[in-house]
Amino acid sequence: MSDRGYPDAVADEFPPPPTAFTDREDREVEIRPYEGNEADHETLVEMYDTFDPADRAQGIPPGGEKRIREWLDAILADDCYNVIAWCGDEAAGHATLVPDGDAYELAIFVHQEYQRAGIGTHLIRGLLGHGQANGVRKVWLTVERWNRAAVSLYKKIGFETSDAESFELEMGLRLRADEVAEEPAADGADGGE
Amino acid sequence: MKVLCGIGGSDDSFRALDRTVERAAVANDDLTIAVVDNDDSSVAPAEVVDRAEAAVDEAGIDAEVRRVEGDPGSRLVEIAETEAFEEIVLGGGHTSPMGKITIGSIAEFVLLNAKTSVTLVR
């Protein structure tokens, strides 16, 4: 793969989860990081097992429990960052950052029963807040061109198109500056981060 | 059937090579393997030719392995048209760390421009 492009400007600060809100259907929803809990893992299997195949994109989520489990085992690994949108004990949505060299690939899914209620925006902001808090610097994704709702969500968040040459659009976001941002300022005057 | 298999050295192209050779042995296809330039591939064309020849030998079939230089997509379409191939076979795409499938630029060009059927091997 060739070098991916990212905006020069660093994105806003996103709120690290847990966060809670009421969606447009008056449901109480909470965004929480996935912390390797087996019950949460099983809840995600259930969410994807009932996921509408019409909402698949570029082969994910895969179909059938066996493939769903293989895929989740890979993206819920310790080196990935995951957040889940909970409505009671049901998973309404899930978003993930999977390592790819010095960057992370992003994907987000909202179950059909919970779409068009504003959950996606909270979910992606929660994921990016979780990533920022853990030192993630660059995030990229691909999205099918016709998926206007997703493209406008990503643009609103601050993603910029980095490759428009193929079937899918590739977009990038800079979450933290590239330089040695880990060094604390000597005088501590600038507590920006 | 007269089959043209285009490979450039990506992982999915080697999968397409193995399956096409396997199928040619069973179906008695008239197979030509075109080794094309692929900027995204880390395997040199000479090595791709070696691997293709080894696969053909191992399967015990009579297939031509041909080095094709220039723009890979348009060269494959041109060869298929001028030499009356009935099918073009290519790798089925790259899988991202997330598991998303992305179709390569060669496959994209061939899909949109070929007059023959095109098979993408998964």
- Determine the 3-state secondary structure of B24 from DSSP: helix
pLDDT of residue A180: 55
pLDDT tens across A69-120, in order?
Answer: 999 999 999 999 999 999 999 999 999 999 999 999 999 999 999 999 999 9
CB < 8 Å to A96, chain B: 98
Residue A4: pLDDT band by 50, 70, 90 thresholds?
confident
Domain parsing of chain A, residue ranges: 19-174
CB contact under 8 A, A166 and B105: yes
pLDDT of residue B41: 87
Could you give the C-alpha distances from B97 to A17, A71, A103, A105, A122, in angstroms and in order?
Answer: 24, 10, 11, 7, 24
Distance CA A19, CA A36 (A): 19
Distance CA B122, CA B112 (A): 19
pLDDT string in tens for chain B (122-residue length): 999 999 999 999 999 999 999 999 999 999 999 999 998 888 999 999 999 999 999 999 999 999 999 999 999 999 999 999 999 999 999 899 999 998 888 999 999 999 999 999 99
CB contact under 8 A, A59 and B102: no
CB contact under 8 A, A98 and B97: yes
CB < 8 Å to B108, chain A: 166-167
- From A5's Cα to the closest Cα of chain B, the distance in A is 16
Cα angle B31-B33-B36, degrees, rounded to a multiple of 5: 155
The type of residue at B1 is M
Domain parsing of chain B, residue ranges: 2-121
pLDDT of residue B76: 98
| Assigned fold of A19-174 | Aminopeptidase (3.40.630)
Name the class of domain B2-121: alpha beta
pLDDT tens across A142-186, in order?
Answer: 998 888 889 999 999 999 999 887 788 999 999 998 765 455 544
- Determine the 3-state secondary structure of B79 from DSSP: helix
DSSP A8-39: SSPPPP-PPSPEEEE-TTS-EEEEEE--S-HH
